[in-house]
Every structure is written in structure tokens, then in C-alpha cells.
Amino acid sequence: MGLRNVEYMIQEAFTGIRRNGIMAFASVTTIALSLGVLGTFALLALAANRFVLSRVNQFEIAVFIEGKTLADIEPVLKQIRSISGVVEMNVRDRKKEWEAFKRDRPDFESAGVPLDVLPFAVDVKVSDPGRIAQIASKIRLIKGVDRVNESKELVDRILAVLRVVKVLSIAGVLVLLGTTALIISNAIRLTLYARRLEIKIMQLVGATNQFIRLPLVIEGVVLGAVGAVLAWFFLTLGGRYVALMAEKIVFLGRISSGVGRAELACGLIFVGAMIGAAGSFVSIRRFLHD
Amino acid sequence: MIRFDNVSVEYPNGVRALNDVSIHIAKGEFAFVVGPTGSGKSTLLKLIYREVTPTRGRVLFDGEDIGALKANQVPYLRRKLGIVFQDFKLLPQKNVWENLAFAMRVIGRHPRDIRRRISEVLNLVGLTKRCDAFPHQMSGGEQQRAAIARALVNHPTVLLADEPTGNLDPDTSWEIMQLLEQINTHGTTVLVATHDSQIVDRMRKRVIQLEAGYVVRDQEKGAYQHSTLTEDLCCGA
């Protein structure tokens, strides 16, 4: 196929969009809406994933070390720091701990127990929540460590939840992707139906299927991409609003899907264009076989 | 050029449109296919442009079995055919010139050839001055001329016309028929399905008469009805 014909097909695709303005508008709107729903779901799933992960990261190993002053526990801290996988350590404020303890056990205070009876509590952050148990057992072996609290069950449960969230979101995205493809191919079928005379004439004068199909597939790609840009616009606006709302809800904190604006645009346009092309291709097949 | 060998067509709904049809249409011939609605005229034409394939028998075009063509070869068969319909099938949002250009463009013809060829055929059908009119701005006769021009634009060897005058008044019908005859004198084989008895009687061409899917008459210089009386009257007139 010559360059002249390719040029003609691209030209035909845009002429087609212009001449069938209302149908093109309907298709773009449908594509934008379906991609918007798909994108919202995918972004929420990603945000949920990240949110759960960030919670897991906050589950650190609590290490209790005996000692009267910070200097006493320094050698132990050094050893913990040298274990691979340990990212950060935080010695808790003993006064605050004491206040909290007193609230729980008023009997201790009345008995005149001094502050330094409490061990130092150190929060150890690890790089990978899956390695908590392994690192905890290493810390346990260090001399001077009184007790290690790894909250293993909680971590396991959260990891299990994370797995479920992952599976559900992948399944959800797949189902929505399928539905979006169906809706879009239906919208394109309507635009084709409006042009069945044109297609019929092309067939009767001996246009090859490729010659009939390509401009329409290009049209599908363009409509898909335009729909995707609209969806991107609304998702970006909506995303900013949701993030603002989330920050107001204290326990949620900063929430983000971790997907950049450019990445989101590229992803949506790619999906929109692919679905547009596939939708056209499938719908035209039916017409060509009539 | 076109040969039907014992062709039968049965549609999926059980209707038998054609029964054991055997005819031959020679190169350069002008023939009418006549018969009442539902007698199989359209099916006979559809077999030639491969809209329908025979249930039994063979349809040969230049010795090639049309029914055995692969789907991707059908467009190349159709480029040898020009097809005209009762309802014109012009694209309403394109003007005459664009309608013709479209038919050439979609088979990949060069814009230079398109310009030259369109002015040729518009001249032939007498629509040179109406080339920028849209279908809704034209009379039925003009629209059919435009449709014939489109059918001719790709140099077909055969022109198939399915009830080309079905929507036209008698005078206009006659003009269209004369145009088809003129095209025939240039060497194009013309096959016209019609139930317009006046035209058939006046033209005195070969008549293939169908009845319930059977060829009941195939007569050179025939009339619409097979009756010596009619023939005599016409010849006497």
C-alpha cells in the first residue's frame, strides 16, 4: 500500500469524524466515561495498595533494652544497626512512655516505682515487612535485649489483606477493561451503522476490506485517544479533590496512587487508542461479512 | 463472458430463489431479465457480483468460477462490474463529483486519473454542469445518471442494473434506457433486471424471463410478454 493511500486513509478518518459529528461526539463521550470509571477504579486500587503497604511499613519491631541511661544501651543499638535490612531506629521518649504506663497502671506510681525501671523502647524499621520475623530473631540474640515485639500476626494479616486487595483490583480492572471494550465497540458499531451505505458502496465498487477497514480503525484510534484525554482531565481534577478530602480525614493522611500525571495520560491514551482500534476492528468485521 | 451452469439458489430461510438456471451472456450483449417481484431477478444479478453464492451449479465470469472465489478476491471481481440500483445508492453528504471520486479513490486510483476520468463519464451521462450538486438537489433521473456514471467510472466490462427505472417516470426511464444502450454500443455488456414492460417492449433486446426461479423464456429481440400479438403490434407500430 502506497504512501498516497495511507495519507488518503488518515484524511478519510478525520473527514469521517467531522462529517459524523454527533456519532463521533457520542463515541468520545462513551469512551471518556468508561475510561474514567476504569481509571478511577485502577487508581483507587493502587492507592489502597499503597495505603496498606504504608501501614505495613509502620509496623516496626519494638525492641526493649535494659539500661539506666542512653549511653548504657548504645552498644546494643550499634549491633542492631549493623543487621542488614534495618533501615531506621528510633528510641522512644522514656518520659512519655512512663506517662502512658502510669495511666494504665496507677498502682505502680502509688508504690513509688522510679522511672528508670522501665526498659528503653526502640522502634526498628525494616526495609521489607516480609523479613520482620527473621530480623527480630537476630535482635533477640543480642546481649542486653530484654524483649522483642514483632507483632508477627498483625503483619501476616495485613500481608494477607494486601494479597486480597491485589487480586481483587486486578480482577476488577480486567472486568472493567472488558466492559469498556464492549461499550466502546458498541458505540463504534453505531457510528458504523450510520455509515453502512458508505461501506456498502465501497464493497460494491470493489474496495478491498483493508481499504474499508483502515480509515475506520484509524478513526477508532483517534476517538479512543480523544476520549482518553477527556478521561485524564477529569481523573486528574477528581484525584486532586479526593487527595484533599483524604488529608482532612486524619487517619488516612496523605493518600496517593503513586501514578504521575504524565504516566496516567500515557496509560489512558494507550488503553483508549487500543480499545478504539480493537472496537472498530471487531465491529467492522460484522459489517464486512454482511 | 458470463455463464450460468444449472444454477440453483436456496436462501437459509428455505426460499428457493433460482432453480436450475443455465444461461450465457456474451461479451458486448444487452439483455433484460424480466419477471414479477420475487421471481429471482435480483438473485440472478447478485450471483454475478458475488453477493450470493449458488447452492448448486456454477456461475462463470470470463471462465472463472465466481462462487469459488476467496473473499479477498471478490473486490477484484467487482472492479470489472458496474452496478446500478433502483434507489441509486448515492452518498447523500457528497456531491456528484465527490461520489464518483469516492468510487475511484477507495480502489486506490491516482488523483490525476480521477479528475480526468470523472469529466469523461460526466460528459457521457450529461451531468457535466451538475457535478457539484448534492443528491437531494437533483431529480430522480439525474440521480440515476450520477449512479450510472459512478458505475462506469472504473471501466467495468459489465454493467448490471437492478430495476434502474423503478423510481422514475416513463419519460425519464426511457432516457436512462437510451443511456444504457449508448454505453452498450461502446462495448460494455449490459444486463438489466426490470419489470418495466413498456421499456422492454420498446427496446427489442434479448429477454430472459424468470418465473418462480425458473427461466421460462430466453428470446432474442423479445418483448416483455411472450405473445406474438404484442410482437406484431410493436413491429407494426
CATH assignment of the domain containing A114: 3.30.70.3040
Same structural domain for residues A178 and A274?
Answer: yes
A78-92: average pLDDT: 83
Same structural domain for residues A133 and A194?
Answer: no
- Comparison of pLDDT for A204 and A70, the residue scoring more: A204
Cell of A227: 476520549
The pLDDT confidence band at residue A166, using thresholds 50, 70 and 90, is confident
Whether A207 and B89 lie within 8 Å, measured CB to CB: no
pLDDT in tens, A36-46: 888 888 888 88
CA angle, residues B19, B21, B27, in degrees to nearest 5: 155
Same structural domain for residues A107 and A248?
Answer: no
Chain A hits for B110, Cβ within 8 Å: 4
- Comparison of pLDDT for B128 and A51, the residue scoring more: B128
- Comparison of pLDDT for B163 and A175, the residue scoring more: B163
Domain boundary residue, one of A119, A150, A181: A150
- Laid out side by side, the sheet with A120-126 consists of A86-91, A120-126, A61-65, A145-149
Whether B75 and A2 lie within 8 Å, measured CB to CB: no
pLDDT of res. B236: 41
Domain boundary residue, one of A123, A150, A177: A150
Same structural domain for residues A277 and A165?
Answer: yes
- Comparison of pLDDT for A152 and A206, the residue scoring more: A206
Nearest to B89 among A4, A19, A201 (CB): A201
- By the 10 Å C-beta count (0-12 exposed, 13-18 middle, 19+ buried), A101 is classed as middle
Nearest to A202 among B49, B81, B106 (CB): B106
Pick among B72, B106, B112, B157 to test the A interface (most A CBs inside 10 A): B106
Domain B2-236: homologous superfamily in CATH = P-loop containing nucleotide triphosphate hydrolases (3.40.50.300)
The alpha-helical segments, DSSP class H, found in A1-20 are 3-19
A90-115: average pLDDT: 74
Same structural domain for residues A178 and A265?
Answer: yes
Same structural domain for residues A7 and A109?
Answer: no
Interface A-B, measured as beta-carbon pairs within 8 A, has a size of: 49
**Does residue A18 belong to the interface with chain B, where contact is any CB pair within 8 Å?**
no
C-alpha to C-alpha distance for A195 and A200, rounded to whole angstroms: 9
**Does residue A8 belong to the interface with chain B, where contact is any CB pair within 8 Å?**
yes
Domain boundary residue, one of A122, A150, A178: A150
pLDDT of res. B84: 96
Helix A152-194 and helix A132-140: axis angle, to 10°?
Answer: 160
Whether A197 and B89 have beta carbons less than 8 Å apart is answered as yes
- Comparison of pLDDT for A169 and B6, the residue scoring more: B6
Whether A201 and B83 lie within 8 Å, measured CB to CB: no
> What stretches of B76-228 adopt beta strand conformation (E)?
81-85, 158-162, 189-194, 206-211, 214-219
Show the low-confidence residues of chain B (pLDDT under 50): 228-237
Sign of CA dihedral B138, B122, B151, B109: negative
Residues whose CB is less than 8 angstroms from the CB of residue B202 and which lie 6 or more positions away in sequence, other chains included:
B174, B177, B234
Is ipTM > 0.90 here?
no
C-alpha to C-alpha distance for B152 and B159, rounded to whole angstroms: 8
Q: Is the pLDDT of residue A270 over 90?
A: yes
Q: Is the pLDDT of residue A247 over 50?
A: yes
Residue A62, beta-bridge partner list:
A123, A149
Same structural domain for residues A142 and A204?
Answer: no
User: Mean pLDDT across chain A, nearest whole number?
Assistant: 80
Residues whose CB is less than 8 angstroms from the CB of residue A183 and which lie 6 or more positions away in sequence, other chains included:
A30, A34
pLDDT in tens, A184-208: 777 777 777 878 888 889 899 998 8
Same structural domain for residues A142 and A228?
Answer: no
> What range does the domain containing A102 cover?
60-150
How many domains does chain A contain in total?
Answer: 2
